[in-house]
Amino acid sequence: MDKRIIIESNLGNIKHAVGQVRNILEQVGADESDIFDIRLCLEEALINAIKYGNKFNKTEKVQIDFNYKDAKVTLSVKDNGGGFDLSAIPDCTSDENILKGSGRGIFLIQHLMDELKSNKQGNRLIMIKHLKLK
């Protein structure tokens, strides 16, 4: 099952996009804890795409690609920004970063999803979760 959702770079559009993904996860019988994890990670990825990638430019779009097959969810969030190096994100739990207000979204995604990667340009985040089905 594949679905593509395209939203304008407005934080108000996140709830609707996440709701569409949640509905699909419920239809396929995903466990509630997996739905929570995916919802949270998708929200964080979308906030980052809108804020850092598209810099709140409402004329720029964010593309969400959802794929479900054999109890595996692959979510991709792509913005139109210059990208970032996923491996260069500072550890938000280290002493020098613990009080900083950024960097926690990627940290959450890394710990809640089974896999996290980005494209070469760094403007597409790919998240994979193997579901526990009801």
What's the burial of 41, exposed, middle or buried (CB within 10 Å: 0-12/13-18/19+)? buried
pTM: 0.91
Q: Distance from first CA to last CA of the chain, Å, rounded? A: 18
Per-residue pLDDT of the chain (134 residues; tens, 9 = 90+): 999 999 999 999 999 999 999 999 999 999 999 999 999 999 999 999 999 999 999 999 999 999 999 999 999 999 999 998 877 776 766 666 565 666 678 889 999 999 999 999 999 999 999 998 87
Class of domain 2-130: alpha beta
The one-letter code for the residue type at 18 is V
Residue 109's SS3 state is helix
Domain spans, the chain: 2-130
